């Protein structure tokens, strides 16, 4: 797909998008545009990233805006103050990637929502996608899959089949479901620098250890019919299925906090265990000695 247009976004919001903290760009009006576009940092005269616009949601109420903080990064104080009262339409982004080198473009005079790129700029940006492939690798991008409050068990009424299976000894379970009793080791994976930068970790090497009904496809429309309860040591567990195509937990809004709380570093090991059916625990096992490359 050719990247022919861009969207101007000011700081700090564009940086939140590029760092994977924000997957809703809040606007005053809807747009029918969908697909790849350039992320333009306001005042820079350059395209600094690429993203896919996949949907526009309905206008949010004040309470919905507050509940959706993890998507748009606007504080409750700002929302209640009325400063952002116009910007209540979520433009939903996926496959955000930061460019290694910003691409200069010419911004013509006049206020427009979408900036139309010259053929030269469009060609440069399109080549970036062509070289990497339209399916963005998670090492270089994050994929937005969060839903408002869906990750925090204490803030919703859990799906009965998931919650009951997680706490009821002897619950019916298909082949491959984690067993009761002492925690069962599902697998271990070593953290890379890309994992830490993009707030994810892979479970693809032991994907077959998880219940098949908790493993879905590559987008939200093909999500698995059942979710796992993931205890990462925070105040509340989270619910998520698994993206088979990437070998990752689909909902990853919690991973950054998990890394920070555990002091995770490159070379550490993520240990995934199952203490109960459809319930997994994740923890960091720190490497005992640093690599020689870490010496100063």
Pairing of β 89-104 and β 24-27: antiparallel
d(CA 195, CA 201): 5
d(CA 214, CA 49): 32
Looking at the structure, do residues 134 and 38 belong to the same domain, yes or no? yes
Domain-located, residue 53: yes
Domain-located, residue 231: yes
Domain limit, last residue, from 142, 172, 201: 142
pTM of the complete model: 0.48
Strand order from edge to edge, sheet including 242-243: 215-216, 242-243, 248-249
User: For residues 107 and 114, is the Cβ–Cβ distance under 8 A?
Assistant: no
Alpha-carbon torsion 209, 212, 215, 218, what sign? positive
Q: How many domains does the chain have?
A: 2
Domain limit, last residue, from 118, 142, 166: 142
Domain-located, residue 147: no
Domain-located, residue 295: no
Spatial neighbors of 119 by CB under 8 A, at least 6 apart, are: none
In this structure, what CATH number is given to the domain that contains residue 177? Answer: 2.40.330
Per-residue confidence in pLDDT tens, the chain, 296 aa: 789 999 999 999 999 999 889 999 999 889 999 999 999 999 889 999 999 999 998 898 888 888 889 899 999 999 998 888 889 999 999 989 999 899 999 877 765 789 999 999 999 999 888 776 544 443 333 333 333 333 322 222 233 333 333 323 333 333 334 444 467 999 999 999 999 998 999 999 999 999 999 999 988 888 998 888 898 887 778 889 999 999 999 998 899 999 998 999 999 999 999 988 889 999 999 987 544 444 44
Domain-located, residue 117: yes
Q: Which domain holds residue 186?
A: 153-285
Domain-located, residue 118: yes
User: For residues 151 and 253, is the Cβ–Cβ distance under 8 A?
Assistant: yes
Domain-located, residue 258: yes
Looking at the structure, do residues 165 and 197 belong to the same domain, yes or no? yes
3-state secondary structure 146-183: CCCCCCCHHHCCCCHHHHHHHHCCCCCCCCCCCCCCCC
208 by DSSP, 3-state: which? helix
Looking at the structure, do residues 241 and 161 belong to the same domain, yes or no? yes
């Amino acid at each position: 797909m050719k990247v022919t247009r861009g969207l101007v976004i000011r700081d700090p919001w564009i940086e939140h998008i590029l760092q994977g903290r924000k997957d809703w760009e809040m606007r005053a009006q809807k747009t029918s545009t969908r697909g790849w576009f350039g992320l333009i940092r306001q005042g820079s005269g350059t395209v600094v990233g690429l993203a896919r616009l996949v949907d526009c949601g309905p206008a949010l109420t004040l309470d919905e805006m507050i509940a959706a903080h993890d998507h748009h990064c606007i504080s409750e104080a700002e929302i209640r103050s009325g400063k952002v009262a116009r910007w209540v339409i979520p433009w939903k982004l996926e496959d955000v990637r930061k460019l290694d080198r910003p691409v200069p473009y010419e911004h013509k005079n006049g206020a427009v929502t979408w900036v139309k790129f010259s053929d030269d700029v469009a060609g440069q940006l399109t080549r970036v996608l062509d070289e990497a492939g339209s399916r963005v690798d998670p090492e270089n991008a994050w994929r937005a899959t969060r839903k408002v409050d869906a990750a925090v068990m204490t803030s919703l009424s859990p799906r009965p089949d998931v919650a009951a299976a997680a706490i009821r000894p002897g619950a019916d379970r298909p082949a491959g479901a984690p067993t009761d009793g002492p925690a069962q080791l599902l697998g271990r994976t070593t953290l890379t620098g890309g994992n830490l930068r993009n707030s994810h970790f892979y479970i693809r090497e032991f994907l077959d250890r998880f219940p098949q009904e908790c493993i879905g496809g590559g987008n939200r429309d093909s999500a698995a019919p059942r979710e796992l309860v993931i205890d990462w040591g925070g105040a509340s567990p989270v619910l998520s299925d698994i993206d088979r195509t990437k070998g990752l937990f689909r909902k990853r809004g919690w991973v950054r906090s998990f890394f920070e709380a555990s002091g995770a570093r490159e070379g550490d090991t993520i240990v995934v265990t199952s203490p109960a059916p459809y319930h997994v625990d994740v923890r960091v096992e720190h490497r005992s000695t640093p690599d020689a490359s870490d010496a100063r």
